[in-house]
Structure formats: C-alpha cells, structure tokens
Amino acid sequence: MAATEKLIEVKNLKKHYNKGTIKALDGVSVDINRGDVMVVIGPSGSGKSTLLRSLNLLEEPTDGEIIFDGVDITKKKYKSMDDATGRPVMVKVSIDEHRQKMGMVFQHFNLFPHKTIIENMILAPVQVLNMPQDEAVDKALKLLRRVGLADRAAAYPIQLSGGQKQRIAIVRALMMEPSVMLFDEPTSALDPEMVGEVLEVMKELANEGMTMVVVTHEMGFAREVGNRVLFMADGKLVEEGTPEAIFDHPQHPRLQDFLSKVL
C-alpha cells in the first residue's frame, strides 16, 4: 500500500459536554494514511483520548465526519452501487463491522479474568468472524510465540505481570486482522520496568507496516517510531509534523512550553 493512501479522514470533529460548555474536541481535522504511525501527544485533558475513542465511535461526536475506508461512520447510511443493477443504493452503516477493522488497546488490559489467555484470544474471532476454533487456536499460538508468551497460553490473567497482560491485549487485537491499531496510553498503567517490553512489540508492528494511532506520554517512542506526531491542547490540534519537526523545531509556544516540561 502507498503510504499516502488515506485510511481515515477526520473532518472538523467536535465533542462537547455539558450543553457545549466543555469542548473536549473543538474542530479537529486530520488524515491518517495507510502505514502511518501517528503519535498523539499533549497535556492531560487536551482531547487526545477523546480523539482516539471517537475514531471507532466509543465516543459519539457532537459534530464532524469520520471517514473510514471510504465510509462516513458517523452517518446512519451511505451511498453504494448495487452489484445487480449498477444503480446507487443507500446502505446502512454497520459500526460493529467497522470496529472489527480497528484493533483497540487501552490503558487497562480488559482481559476476561475467568478465561485462560488462549480463551481470551480466540473468543472474538470464533464468535464474530466465525473462525473455526482449531484455526483460531493455531493463530493465537503463533501470535503468542511472537511476543514470547506461548508458555502462558493456559494461564489466567491474574498469573501474568502487567507487561505480559498488555502484550496479550495487543496480540488479542491482532487476532481480528485489523486495518489499524489504536493505542490509548498503553503503558501508563505499567510499572516502569515493564514499559519497554510493550513498546518493543509496538515497534515491531510499526516496522511491519501496521497503521497505528498511539496516544502516549512516551516521547522516546514518539520520536523513534512515529512518522507523524500530533500535538493537542484544549481540544484542538495545535501542531503536527514529523518527529524531527515537532521535537527539534517546535513552532507553537504551547508546544514549546509542553516539551520544556516533558523532555
């Protein structure tokens, strides 16, 4: 895929609370291309997580458009061509269908505590994609080997460290073969010594060409792995650019102030 092919277009996205007095998102527009590793940085309360959660409508926008793979998922229906007649028809937007193409990894791992690791991993592919169970188990074991956790397949989440759980959460999302992976501060709940093992898995995904949108406080990851960095403040996209431009040549005073505190 060409890196310039748009996968997601965000147009003038707004998310207001309390009758418009709180503007979590205030007119954000950005294109996410296939193969992008887009890292979103900014102070707490800047709208980073709200933007990320809006991409798969975990947050329902107040206004604006999110066009994912050519379909505006904020609308109830979209225009398509009928294969039989060749005429345009209105097709209902299935947000569940689109969410299947967006892997999501949260701060907390959201693993089912009463299921083993392998059961956690095969649940969605078997139930949602109708993948045969044997095939799902084979695929899960390959992914577990990839992150060095094949020996934990029969374990329960309570028996794993935080870093191991988060690596499981990542490969569980990969079981659905998503078009894009969304990471909402995936290392913020981890002990410092566990952060590296999770970032390493994310780095490998990026090197393999996975489209990723990552909200993080890990500036080293943003600089080293991202190809685009967005800086948000007060619900607005204040500045965007390459890691070099953002970290070495910040233009906006708000970004300059933020970097002076975190670097």
Lowest mean pLDDT among 17-31, 88-102, 195-209: 88-102
The torsion angles phi and psi of 2, rounded to 5 degrees, stand at -70, 140
Tokens 């007095």 map to which residue? 21
- Which H/E stretch holds residue 165? helix 162-174
- Rounded average pLDDT over 192-219: 95
Tokens of 59: 């947050």
**What whole-number distance in Å separates Cα of residue 103 and Cα of residue 70?**
18
Which tops the pLDDT comparison, 248 or 97? 248
Q: How much is the average pLDDT of 134-140?
A: 97
How large is the angle between the packed helices 162-174 and 192-207, nearest 10 degrees? 20
Per-residue pLDDT, averaged over 114-120, amounts to: 97
Average pLDDT, rounded, for the chain: 93
The answer for residues whose C-beta is within 8 angstroms of residue 119's C-beta and 6 or more apart is 112
Q: Residue 191: helix, strand or coil by DSSP? A: coil
Region 99-104: what's the mean pLDDT? Answer: 93
pLDDT of 80 over the 80 cut: no
- Asked if residue 175 lies in contact with residue 124, where contact means CB atoms within 8 angstroms, the answer is yes
So what's the pLDDT on residue 78? 65
How many C-beta neighbours within 10 Å does residue 250 have? 19
What is the pTM assigned to this prediction? 0.91
Rounded mean pLDDT of 142-156? 96
Q: Lowest-pLDDT range, 46-60, 83-97, 204-218?
A: 83-97
pLDDT of residue 4: 62
Of 233, 234, 174, which is closest to residue 204 (Cα–Cα)?
174
Give the whole-number percent of the chain exceeding pLDDT 70.
98
pLDDT band per the 50, 70, 90 thresholds, residue 1: very low
Q: Average pLDDT of 239-245?
A: 97
Q: What is the pLDDT of residues 18-39, one digit of tens each?
A: 988 999 999 999 999 999 999 9
Q: Determine the average pLDDT of the residues in 110-117.
A: 95
- Phi then psi for residue 48, to 5 deg, are -60, -55
Q: Which residue has the higher pLDDT, 85 or 174?
A: 174
